[in-house]
Amino acid sequence: MLAEKINKLSLIQIDRIVEMAWEDRTPFEAIEYQFDLAEKEVIQLMRKVLKRSSFNLWRKRVNSGVSQKHLHKRNPEISRFKCALQRQITGNKISKR
C-alpha cells in the first residue's frame, strides 16, 4: 500500500514530506491532510528515504518532549498548520519576505 502511494508522489512532494516531518511544529495531521499519509506511513517513508543514522536522529527527536508532532501534545491555542510569517507559494515561485 505504501509503495503505491510513494510511486504516485513526485520527488518534490517526497522532499516536502521529509521537510515537514523534520519540522517540530508541523504535526503528522498536517502531513496526512496534505498528502494522505498516516503517521505510520510517514515513518516508513522516512525510514526508506533517510540514511539509517538520520532516521534514528529523527525518531529520537519526534519521541522526545521537544517535538510537537502530535496535535494532542500541542498548546491548544495553536490551531493552524503554518507559521503566520509563511507566505503562499504562487506560480511555482516562493514569495520572499
Considering only CA atoms, which of 30, 12, 35, 43 is closest in space to residue 86?
30
pLDDT of residue 54: 94
The CA distances from residue 76 to 20, 58, 65, in Å, are 20, 24, 16
Low-confidence ranges of the chain (pLDDT < 50): 97
Q: Which residues contact 85 (CB under 8 A, 6 or more apart)?
A: 97
**Count of domains forming the chain:** 1
pLDDT of residue 77: 57
- Domain encompassing residue 79: 2-94
Helix crossing, 39-49 with 52-63: angle to 10°? Answer: 150
- Cell 510511486, residue located: 7
Q: Which helix (H) or strand (E) holds 89?
A: strand 89-90
pLDDT of residue 27: 87
pLDDT of residue 62: 84
pLDDT of residue 66: 57
